Chain A
Amino acid sequence: MPAVQETVDRVRAIDVDQYKYGFVTEIESDKVRKGLDEDIVGFISEKKAEPAWMLEWRLDAFRRWQTMAEPTWARVHYPPIDFQDLHYYSAPKSTAGPKSLDEVDPELLAMYEKLGIPLREREILAGVEGAGSRVAVDAVFDSVSVVTTFKEELAKAGVIFCSISEAVREHPELVRRYLGSVVPVTDNFYATLNSAVFSDGSFVYIPPGVRCPMELSTYFRINERNTGQFERTLIIADKGAHVSYLEGCTAPMRDENQLHAAVVELVALDDAEIKYSTVQNWYPGDKEGRGGIYNFVTKRGDCRGHNSRISWTQVETGSAITWKYPSCILRGDNSRGEFYSIAVSNGYQQVDSGTKMIHLGKNTSSRIISKGISAGHSSNTYRGLVQAHRKADGARNYTQCDSLLIGDQCGAHTIPYIEAKTKTAVFEHEATTSKISDAQLFYCRSRGIPQEEAVALIVNGFVKDVIQQLPMEFAVEAQKLIGVSLEGSVG
C-alpha cells in the first residue's frame, strides 16, 4: 500500500521531459557494413566462432527470408523499412569476450550503472540482504553479451545461464535440440530474419528437479546508430525445474527509427515452471512521433510436458511501435499458460500486442489479463487468440481485457479470436473500456493530490492485478515507469 505513495514520490523526483535512458554511450564499436546478404550472415557466424551447423541454420533461414513478405495485418502504420540500409552487427570494440568484469570497458560499466543495473556481484551481495532478492544479470549491448553475473554460483546448482553465443559453442547439444523448436525458422518474417542474423541474447538451462536459486535477468541496450538488434533467447526448464526470468530494455534517443526483432523461445518439460517477465522501455520517440524503436518481437513458450506451466508478464511502456504476442502452446496434459500484460501508450506510440493460447493437451487451462492504457495520440490494440484443438478435452480459458483511455485523441481496440474445436472447452471473455473521468481527477485533487499524481494513482489502481504478478523487485520499478510514461498526458 505505501508502495504506491513511494512510487508517486519517485515519479515526481524524475525529470519527466526527458526519456531517462536517452543518453548515448561513446564507445568505439566494431560495426559491419550496411546491408544483408549471405556474406553478412557468414560474417556474424564467424565473429561468434560458430560451428558449421549453426552457419547452415542461419543461411537456410536467410534464404527462406528472401522469399517472404512483411506482415501487414497489425493495426500499426509506418513507412517501409529498407532492410539493406541497416547494420546487422555492432559490438563494443574492446570487449570481445571479456573473461571477467575487470576486462569490461569502464564506459560500459558506467552505462549500466547509469541504467541502475548492478553488474558487480560483490556490490550486489553487499547491498542487498537476503538470498531471495539477488538477481543474476546478463547484459547485452548492441549485438553482444558483455557480462553475465553469478555464473559460478548458478553452476553449483547445475543451472546454465550464459549468452546464446557461448551456449552455441559450449552446449551445442542443448542448443541444437531446442533452438527453433518453439518458433520454427519459417514462423514469420521477423522471426526468420532473426534466425539468420541473431547476434546475441541469453541462454538458460535448468536441470531436472532444480529450482533456480535466484532471479535471472537480461538487460538489453541498443546504443549504435542505424543498427538493428536481433537477440535470441532460449530458456529450457527440464522436468520439475522452476525458473523466474526478467528482461529489461532501453535505448538512446535518436531521430531515426531503430529496428528490434527478437525471438524468445521457452520450453517447459513435465512439471516444470517458467515465469518470464518483461519491463520494456525502449525509446518511444519524441512528442511529435519522431524516432523510437520498432519492436517486432516473437515470443513463444511451449508447455511440452505434463503439468507444466508458463507465465508471461509484461509491462510495455516504450517503443514507437510494438508488435508482439507472447504465446503459450499447451501441449502437455494439464499444462497451464498465463499472460498478464500492461501496455501503456502515449504520444504517437502504436501498440498491437496480445497473446495466443493454443490448447492441444487435455485439461489444459489458460488465463489472460490484459490492461491497455492509451493517452496522447496513441493507438493501443489488444489482439489475442484462444484456440482449443479437437483433442483438447476440458480446455479452459479466462480472458479479461480492460482498456483505459486518457484524453480524447487516443484509441483502444480489442480484437479477440476464439476458436473451440471441442465441445468440452469452456472459454470466458470479459472486456471493458473506461476513461479517467474529470470527476475522478477532481475528486483526487480536492483531497490534495496533484493532477499527475492523481493520474498515476488511478492508473496504478487499474493495473494492480497485473503488477501483483511481477517479481517484488520489479513491481515498484514498473509502477514508477507507468507513472513516468504518462507524465504530461492530462491537461
Chain B
Amino acid sequence: MTNLLEVRNLHASVGEREILHGLNLTIGAGEVHAVMGPNGSGKSTLSHVLAGRDDYEVTDGTITLDGQDLLELEPEERAAAGVFLALQYPVEIPGVANMTFLKAALTAQRKARGEPDLSTADFMKRVRAEADKLGISPEMLKRPVNVGFSGGEKKRNEILQMAVLSPRLCVLDETDSGLDIDALRIVADGVNALRSPERGMLVITHYQRLLDLIVPDVVHVLSGGKIVKTGGPGLALELEERGYAEYLGAAAA
C-alpha cells in the first residue's frame, strides 16, 4: 500500500508557543485513521496545519501528500491537490448561496488541476444526488452558506462539500461536536459512503462515540503535541474506559 500522507517530525507554533513537538503520522490510501487526545493536545492545530492556515507556523518537519510537499502550497493549492478539512466550526458567508459557493470551489479546483469545467447541468445533478443522501433539501442549497444553519445542518453541509469536491485526503476536525445521535448517524453515514481505496481519512475526535459509527483502521493518541501511542480500533475503546490520564505523563517525559 502506498503512503498517501506522510507527516515527519512536525513542529508547529501559534505565536510564540510551540504546540506540535515532532509529530509523525503516516496514512496509506484507503485507510481511515483516528486521532484522539485530551483538550489542548494539538488536535485542531494538526488539522489546520494540514490545511495551511497561516496563523500556524511550521518551524520544522515535513508534510507530503502523494510525495508532494504540502508546506510549499497555499491553502487553495492544497485543496486542489486533494486536501479537505471539515471544520469544527463552519464559517458563515452571508449572501452567497450554498450552491454558488460549491460551484466556485469546484470550478477553482478543476481549473487549478487543468481539468475542464463541469457543465452546470452535470454539476447540479452531482450536488443534488449528494445532497439527497445527506438529507439536505434543495431549499438549503439556495440558502447562504451556513447562515442560520443548525449545528447538524452545518456539519452535514461540510460533508456535502467533501462529497462534491471528492478529495484525496479528508480531515474531519471534531465533526461530532455539538451533534445529537441522529445527526451524528447521518454525518457518519455520509463519511462512510466516501471511504474508498484511493482516499485516506483522518478523523480527529475527543470521543469514542463517533468511532462506533466510523470504524477506523488505526487509532492514534495525541498528547502534548506528539503521537504517544498507536493501535487498532480497540485502542479507542480502551481510552473510553480509562481516559487520557496515563498519556499525559508520557507526553511530558
Chain A: residues with CB nearer than 8 A to chain B? 1-2, 4-5, 8, 437-440, 442-451, 453, 457-458, 460-465
Contact = CB atoms under 8 A, between A and B. Distances in A.
A176 B85 CA distance: 67
Contact of A445 (B79, B87, B92): B79
A470 to B, nearest CB: 15
B84 to A, nearest CB: 8
A446 B105 CA distance: 9
Contacts of B53: 442, 446
A451 B76 contact: yes
Contacts of B35: none
Contacts of B74: 445, 450-451
A457 B76 contact: no
B112 A461 contact: no
Which 8 pairs show the lowest CB-CB distances between chains A and B?
Answer: A461-B95, A461-B96, A448-B79, A448-B109, A447-B105, A445-B75, A443-B91, A464-B95
Interface in B100-116: 100-101, 103-109, 112
Contact of A450 (B52, B76, B101): B76
Interface string B61-85: 0000000000000111011100011
A461 B101 CA distance: 10
B120 A448 contact: no
Nearest to A432: B94
A8 B117 CA distance: 14
A6 to B, nearest CB: 10
B95 A449 contact: no
B24 to A, nearest CB: 24
14 contacts: A1-B97, A1-B100, A2-B103, A440-B91, A442-B51, A442-B91, A446-B52, A446-B76, A447-B76, A447-B79, A447-B161, A450-B74, A457-B93, A461-B96
A208 to B, nearest CB: 40
B79 A457 contact: no
Given A450-B108, A461-B95, A438 B55 contact: yes
A452 B95 CA distance: 17
A2 B120 contact: yes
Given A444-B93, A447-B165, A448-B76, 8 more contacts: A1-B103, A442-B51, A444-B101, A445-B75, A446-B78, A447-B108, A451-B74, A457-B100
Given A4-B100, A450-B108, A461 B76 contact: no
B132 to A, nearest CB: 19
Nearest to A1: B100
A402 to B, nearest CB: 9
Contact of A448 (B92, B93, B105): B105
B90 A461 contact: no
Contacts, number: 97
B153 to A, nearest CB: 16
Given A438-B55, A443-B90, A449 B96 contact: no
Interface residues of B, number: 37
B144 interface: yes
A458 B165 contact: no
B226 to A, nearest CB: 25
Contact of B85 (A446, A453, A457, A465): A446
A353 to B, nearest CB: 21
B103 A5 contact: yes
Contacts of B75: 442, 445-446
B219 interface: no
A457 B96 contact: yes
A232 B233 CA distance: 78
Contacts of A461: 93-96, 144
A438 to B, nearest CB: 7
B104 A457 contact: yes
A464 B147 CA distance: 15
B104 A5 contact: yes
Contact of B100 (A5, A439, A446, A465): A5
Contacts of B79: 445-448
A446 B51 contact: yes
Contacts of A449: 76, 104-105, 108
B93 A458 contact: yes
Contacts of B107: 5
Q: Which of A437, A447, A448, A461 has the most CB of B within 10 A?
A: A448
A458 B96 contact: yes
Contacts of A2: 100, 103, 120
Contacts of B108: 447-450, 453
B163 interface: no
A464 B120 CA distance: 21
B99 A1 contact: yes
A440 B51 contact: no
B91 A4 contact: no
A2 B74 CA distance: 25
A119 B96 CA distance: 36
Contacts of A446: 51-53, 75-76, 78-79, 84-85, 87
B88 to A, nearest CB: 12
Contact of A462 (B84, B92, B95): B95
A5 B99 CA distance: 11
A395 to B, nearest CB: 30
A439 B76 CA distance: 14
Contacts of B76: 445-451
Nearest to A402: B94
Contacts of A440: 91-93
Contacts of B90: 443
A222 to B, nearest CB: 34
A411 B144 CA distance: 27
Interface in B213-235: none
Contacts of B51: 442, 446
Q: Which of A439, A446, A457, A465 has the most CB of B within 10 A?
A: A446
A448 B103 contact: no
A433 to B, nearest CB: 13
A372 to B, nearest CB: 15
B107 to A, nearest CB: 6
A8 B106 CA distance: 13
Contacts of B92: 440
Contacts of B93: 440, 443-444, 457-458, 461
A4 B108 CA distance: 13
Nearest to B142: A1
A342 to B, nearest CB: 12
Contacts of A437: 91
B75 to A, nearest CB: 4
Contacts of A451: 74, 76
A8 B95 contact: no
Contacts of B96: 4, 457-458, 460-461
